[in-house]
Structure 1
C-alpha cells in the first residue's frame, strides 16, 4: 500500500485569510488573556514587518500598527480539518485525521482512477491551492512514515520499504516523531540518527526506554500496523463566514458567497453527491436573519453554476439591515448523475446545457416565470398540451408539429405532396366540441413540411394546422 500525508502547516491562518478579499494585507492571529495578548500566527506580509509568533501584541504595535488581527480559533481549525477530510474523501475511501493538521490518504487503490502518482499529486496540489490552503505532501508505504517524511521535505516519495529505509536512516532522532524526553535521552547517549538506533540491540532499547519507543520505530518501518480511525463525511453541509465589517450591498456579499459555494461544490465532489436545495442565511446585528432559499430542479454541484444561481436569488432579495455574517446550509444531498454529452461537441464555447440555462433563467426571472409544455390526456391537438412551471417535456406519440397555428388555414398549393397519412383523430364527444379529422404530413413546393387535415366526409381543401421544424 501507499499512503500520502498532506500537512497543512498554516491551517488556522489559511482558514481566516481565505475569507478576506485582500490576501496581501498583514494579518496576525491572537491568543491569550485580555491582559496579555500573544501573536500565535502571522502571515508572510506581517512577518516582513518584523512580527513573529510568540510576540506580545504590545510589542508588535510598538513596531508597527499597519496590520489586522483575528482570533486564533481552535474550533475553526477542527472544522477546516473536517472540511478538507470530506474533500479528500473524493480521492480515497480511506482518509484519516490521526495526526493534527494532517490528512492521511491511502492512494495505492486510487492510482488506477487518477493516474500515476505525479499526475495524481498535481491534481491534489491544484485543488488545495484553489481552496486556498498551503500544504506539503509526502508518500510512503505506511502512514507513520509518510507523516515523518512530510516534515523532512515536500514531495518526497518512498515507493517501497527499501527506499523508505534509505531515506529514514540518516534522519536525526528529533525528526522521528518521538517525545522530547526520549529524544533528549538519545542525544545524551550520542545517538543522533535513526541508523544508530537500529544498530542497537532491541533488548537494550526495551530495558532503557518505554515500550512505546520500539513500537513507534516498528510502525515507522512498516513492521507494525498503525491503528487508524477512518473519516466518514457528514450528511449536512454547514459553513459560515463572519464578515470583517457590516455589509449593506449585494456586491460586497459576492466574495464570501463565491467562497461558500466553492466549498459546497468541493464537499459534494468528495461525497460524490449533488445538491438540490439549500439555504443562505444573512445574519444581522438585530432582528431575524434574512433567509434566501435556493432550489434546483435537479441535483447539481458545479461551483460556477451554484454561485450564479445563488447570486441571482440574492440580487432579488431586499436587505433589511447590514449583514454581519453569511451562512450556507445544505441538508438534501442526493446522488449526482452527470449529464451525458457528445464526444465531439460542436462549438462548445457557444453552447450551454439546457439544465444550466433553465436554472439560470429561474434564478434571474423567478420560479414562476419559466414554463414548459406538459402533456394533457386529450387527443385533440388544440387541447393536448398545457403550460406548466415544471421541467416536464411534452411526450411525442406520433408526428406532431412544433408550431401549431391558432386557426387552421386552407392549403391551395397545387404542387402539394402528401408524405404520410391519413391519421384519423376522433375525440371530444363528452364536452360538445368533438372533432373527426384525417391528418396528413405534407410538403410544400418550397420544401416546408406541414401538418394538415380534412374533416371526415369533406371534399374541401386541406387545412394547415401546424409546421414542422
Structure 2
C-alpha cells in the first residue's frame, strides 16, 4: 500500500483568509482567555512584521500598531478539515483524518490518475485552487507519510526497505510521538528516529510504555494502522461570517463564489451532484433571507453552480445588511455526466448547453426558458407545446417541419412557388369540430425563401403560408 499525506500547517488561518478578498493587510488569529489573549496564527505580512504564534496580544499590538484580528474557532477549523477530507475522497476510497492532515491510500488510484508525480501535481493544483497551503509526502504507511510531510515536502518513499533510511534523519521532536516522549528522549541523547528505531523495543516499553512502541511499529509498517476511514456526509452545509456588514448584493459575489466552489469540490469527492440548494443571508436584527436555487438536472460544475446562484441572488432586494452567508444542500442526488462527442467540434470558448440554459433561467426567471415537445394531435397548430420542466425525449417522427411555424396561416403572395417536396395530406380534427383537409408542400418562393405552404386537397393554387424553414 502507498499513502499520501496532505499536511495543512495553517488550516485555520487559510480558512479565514479564503473568505476575504486578497490583501496585504496583516491578519492574526487570536485565542485564549480575555486577559491572556495570544496570537494563534499570523499571516505572512504579519510574520514579516515580527508577529509569531504564541506571542501575547499585548506584545503584538506594541510591535505592530495596526492589524486585523479574528477569533480562532476550533469548530470552524474542523469544518475545513472535513471539507478537505471529502475533497480527497475524489482520489481515493480510503481517506483518514490526522491532526492538521488528510491521508489517502493511493496505490489503487495511480492507474487512474497516472504515476505519482502527475498525481501529486493534481493534488497540489486542486489545493491551490481551494486556497489551502499544504505539504505532501508519500510513504508505505499513513503515519510515515504524516511524519515525512512535516520534515520534507515532496518526499516520496515507495518501498518498505527504503522507509527506515528515509525516516532515520528525522528529529524525534518532529516524529509525532506520544506526549512527553520526544522531550524525554532528547534528554537521553536520542535526537533522531534512526537512533530511536535502533534501540531495543523491550527497554523502550519498560521506560516509556507500550504506546511509544506501538507508534513506532505502525510508523514502519510492522503493525496495522488504527485510523478510522472517513466517509463524506450525504448533505452539505457551509457558513461564512465576516466582521463587517455587506449592504450591496454585488459584494456578496466573492463569498458566494467560494461557497459554490467548495460545494463543487465536495460533490466531486463523493461523485454526486446537486439539483436544489439554498443560499441563506443572515442579518443582525431580523430573520434571514432565504434564496432557493433549483436546476433542471443534477450538476456539480463550480461555474454552473455559481452562475445559477448569482442569477437568483442578483434579483434579491436586501432588507438589511448581511453579516453571514450559508449554503445548504440537504439532498445530493447521483450525478450523470452529459455525453460528449469523441471529436467535439465546438469552439474552445463555447458554453455548454446545460450551463447556458441554467444561466438564462437564473437571469430571466424559472419559466423564461421553455422546451418544445410533441403532442398527439396531428394538426400543425396543436402538434407541439412548451414546458419548462419536460425531460428530454426523442421526437416520435421525422417528417419535415419548419423551424418557424406561423401563429395562423397567411396568403402566399407573388408568383407561384417552386414545389420542392409534397404533397403531404393532413386530414383530421373531425372529433372536436376543428376538422381540416389540407395538402402541404415544401416550396421555394420567388425571393428564394424555403417555405411550408398548403392548398386545398387535389389543387395547386390559392397558396396559404404556414411556416418558414431556416
Match of 1:348 in 2: 347
Match of 2:19 in 1: 19
Bigger Cα displacement from structure 2, 435-444 vs 397-406: 435-444
2:416–2:445 contact (8 Å) kept in structure 1: no
The aligned counterpart of 1:6 is 6
Q: 1:245 to 1:465 in 2, by over 3 A?
A: same
CA distance in 1 between counterparts of 2:214 and 2:391 reads 63
Match of 1:322 in 2: 321
**Contact 2:29–2:69, Cα closer than 8 Å, also in 1:** yes
1:456 aligns with 2:457: yes
Shift of 1:429: 0.9
What is the CA deviation profile of residues 30-82 of structure 1, one whole-angstrom value per residue up to 9, with x for unaligned ones?
A: 11222221111111111122222222222222222210111111111111101
1:173 and 2:175 equivalent? no
Q: CA deviation at 1:227?
A: 1.6
Q: Which residue matches 2:362?
A: 363
Counterpart position of 1:74: 74
Match of 1:400? 401
Tell me, yes or no, if structure 1 residue 226 matches structure 2 residue 228.
no
The answer as to 2:431 corresponding to 1:434 is no
For residues 302-338 of structure 1, the C-alpha deviation after alignment (integer angstroms, 9 at most, x for no partner) is 2122222211111111111111111111122222222
2: distance between equivalents of 1:386 and 1:250?
37
Deviation at 1:409, TM superposition (A): 3.6
Q: How does 1:86-235 map to 2 (within 5 A)?
A: 86-97=86-97, 99-235=98-234
CA distance in 1 between counterparts of 2:39 and 2:159 reads: 42
Q: Does the C-alpha gap of structure 1 residues 459 and 178 become closer, same or farther in structure 2, counting only changes over 3 Å?
A: closer
Secondary structure of 2:425's partner?
Answer: strand
- CA distance in structure 1 between the partners assigned to 2:145 and 2:59 by the alignment: 39
Contact 2:414-2:446 at 8 Å conserved across structures:
no
- CA distance in 2 between partners of 1:389 and 1:173 (Å): 64
Q: What TM-score do you get using the length of structure 1 for normalisation?
A: 0.93
Deviation at 1:428, TM superposition (A): 0.9
Q: Residues of 1 paired with 2:158 and 2:428: CA distance?
A: 75
Task: Give me the whole-angstrom Cα distance separating, in 1, the residues matched to 2:248 and 2:198.
Answer: 68
Q: In 2, distance between residues paired with 1:368 and 1:297?
A: 12
Alpha-carbon distance in structure 1 between the residues aligned to 2:64 and 2:189: 45
Deviations 1:407-459 (A, max 9, x none): 1544876672443x443322111221101223344456777544343333546
Q: From the superposition, tell whether residues 155 and 350 of structure 1 become closer, same or farther in structure 2 (CA, over 3 Å).
A: closer
Q: Report the Cα distance in structure 1 between the residues aligned to 2:170 and 2:50, rounded to whole angstroms.
A: 32
Distance 1:429 1:268, change over 3 A: same
Kept in 1: contact 2:417–2:443 (CA 8 A): no
1:401 CA drift (Å):
1.6
Q: CA deviation at 1:461?
A: 5.4
The alignment's TM-score, normalised by the length of structure 2, stands at 0.92
Give how far 1:125 is off: 0.7
The 1:199/1:323 distance shift into structure 2, 3 A limit, reads closer
**Comparing 15-24 with 104-113, which one deviates more in the overlay?**
15-24
Q: Is the 8 A contact 2:454 2:463 kept in 1?
A: yes
Counterpart for residue 58 of structure 1? 58
Shift of 1:92: 0.7
Mapped contact 2:411–2:462 kept (Cα < 8 A): no
Instruction: Give the 3 Å change call, closer, same or farther, for CA 236–434 of structure 1 in structure 2.
Output: same
Does the Cα contact within 8 Å between 1:373 and 1:392 map onto a contact in 2?
A: no
Task: Report the secondary structure of 2:180's partner residue.
Answer: helix
What RMSD over aligned residues (CA atoms) do the two structures have, in Å?
2.3
Three-state SS of the structure 2 residue aligned to 1:439 is strand
How far 1:121 moved relative to its partner? 0.7
In 2: Cα distance, 1:310 partner to 1:456 partner: 55
CA distance in 1, matches of 2:312, 2:18: 24
Residue in structure 2 matched with residue 425 of structure 1 by the alignment:
426
- 1:348, distance to aligned residue in structure 2 (A): 1.6
Q: Distance in 1 between matches of 2:63 and 2:437?
A: 94
Residue pair 2:409, 2:464 contacting (<8 A) in 1 also: no
Q: For residues 210-265 of structure 1, give each alpha carbon's deviation from its aligned partner in whole angstroms, at most 9, with x where no partner exists.
A: 12222222211111110221111111111111122111111211111111111111
- Tell me, which stretches of 5 or more residues in structure 1 are unaligned? none
Give 3-state SS (helix, strand or coil) of 1:108's partner: coil
Which deviates more, 44-53 or 390-399?
A: 390-399
Distance 1:297 1:95 in 2: 32
Alignment partner, residue 83 of structure 1: 83
200 and 244 in structure 1: CA distance in 2 versus 1, 3 angstrom threshold: closer
Q: Any unmatched runs of 5+ in structure 2?
A: none
Contact kept, 8 Å, 2:138 with 2:156, in 1: the verdict is yes
**Against the structure 1 CA distance between its residues 59 and 193, is the aligned structure 2 distance closer, same or farther, given a 3 Å change threshold?**
closer
2:331 corresponds in structure 1 to: 332
| Aligned partner of residue 430 in structure 2, secondary structure | coil
